[in-house]
Amino acid sequence: MTQDGTVDHGGSGHVADRPSGGDGAAVERVFREEYGRLIASLVRRFGDIDLAEDAAGEALVVALEKWPSDGVPPNPGGWLTTTAANRAIDRIRREGQRDAKHQAALMTYDDTSHSPVGVVEDDRLRLLFTCCHPALAPEARIALTLRLLGGLTVAEIGQAFLVPETTMAQRITRAKKKIAAANVPYRVPSASDLPTRLGGVLTVLFLVFNEGYLASGDGSPVRSELTSEAIRLTRVLQVLLPSEPEVTGLLALMLLTEARHSARVRSGVLVPLDEQDRSGWDRSLIAEGHALVRSCLAINRPGRYQLLAAINAVHTSAVSASDTDWSQVVALYDQLLLVDPSPIVALNRAVAVAELDGPSVALALVDRLPLEGYHPWHAVRADLLRRLGRSTEAKDAYGAAINSTANVAERAYLARKSGELV
């Protein structure tokens, strides 16, 4: 929990460098980077998610056979798309699928350039809205987005959300069947439908990013996949929907959070915002995030993600923690409470109030929130009790916070703070 009023989100938003060699690990890395584009392109053409996944998997097998000796091709995405499409066509012909949809797919394959702009990006946006259709349960939307657009394995998604692999597999299978049974359209919603549909998509992207951040510190490679994929998809959405300020706000929020990533953990211990080495923050991401905040706040009355981004902008504008404009942070939280009157927002506001009015005032606000089962509530209480000199109560609160989180880095930080009490 940090003083920016949000649970500090981490992970890496940077896409791995393209490999120059052709070893198996390099092939799989390229495949994962290209997976979302590949699946979206295949679903657009064949209209069948299972067929797209199977064909993509077969293309990977071929790549693992050829690339180690031949090297990664100059346009690996185009190579994979062509190979996967050919495998899908072979399967359609073998299985005698001759309905109109598949006949059209066989006749219309014309672009293997795999360009990063234009129709390919539209394909991913269409698939994102399909994955986040309101006919699906929220947890299914997240899982399907990560599987089809993020390229994560079922085991990785299950690990990220703390459910067994078999449970996650069933969840994804049910979601795909529901898409087929409900005839969910593979398209971006019309202008009239977009406002109601866009909120669900943004929620999924935010949860994916936040989950990746909260998982960081446990040594799991999944965290960077979650955060980088959320950033990448939000960038796609922002380019294609530049007039939607909440999309811009969410991208700004992610970038300003990602900018602090390298300073967030030191020697396996979480470093809270006020103790971070700000010289290690990514100034290019901060500059981009600030520009996005200014652009979206100028458009309309700010929404949830715009306000969260603005709060992060205040923190990343301060040269040091002591220079933070806490009155502005509290004012922004007051606006956020009007949009999202949740006890979690109230808890984050109390963190800022502590800097303005003192820990006693903040503790009174925190103690009346119904968040006893929420890990950051215990962490915030522990810190406020420590600052008030109520060491015995603070130790108990630190113990409750430690017991309620699996994050290794955060547990180490909380244990250190508890150990400093006398």
Rounded to 5°, the CA angle 352-353-358 comes to 120
Per-residue pLDDT, 111: 45
**Does 7 have pLDDT greater than 50?**
no
In the chain, how many domains are there?
Answer: 1
Identify whether 283 is part of a domain: yes
Identify whether 401 is part of a domain: no
Average pLDDT over residues 53-58: 91
**Does 190 have pLDDT greater than 50?**
yes
**Does 10 have pLDDT greater than 50?**
no
**Does 396 have pLDDT greater than 80?**
yes
Spatial CA neighbour of 1 closest among 406, 348, 421: 348
Mean of pLDDT over the chain: 83
**Does 5 have pLDDT greater than 50?**
no
Decide which of 140 and 346 is more confident. Answer: 346
Average pLDDT over residues 49-76: 88
Q: How far, in Å, CA of 237 to CA of 248, rounded?
A: 9
Identify whether 309 is part of a domain: yes
Identify whether 213 is part of a domain: no
Identify whether 375 is part of a domain: no
Identify whether 320 is part of a domain: yes
pLDDT (tens digit, 9 = 90+) per residue, 11-54?
323 333 333 444 677 787 788 778 888 898 899 888 889 999 99
Identify whether 333 is part of a domain: yes
Spatial CA neighbour of 393 closest among 403, 385, 402, 401: 385
pLDDT (tens digit, 9 = 90+) per residue, 333-344?
999 999 999 999
Its domain, for residue 333, covers 247-341
Identify whether 278 is part of a domain: yes
Token digits of residue 279: 């010289």
pTM: 0.74
- Cβ neighbors of 73 (< 8 A, separation 6 or more) are 67, 79
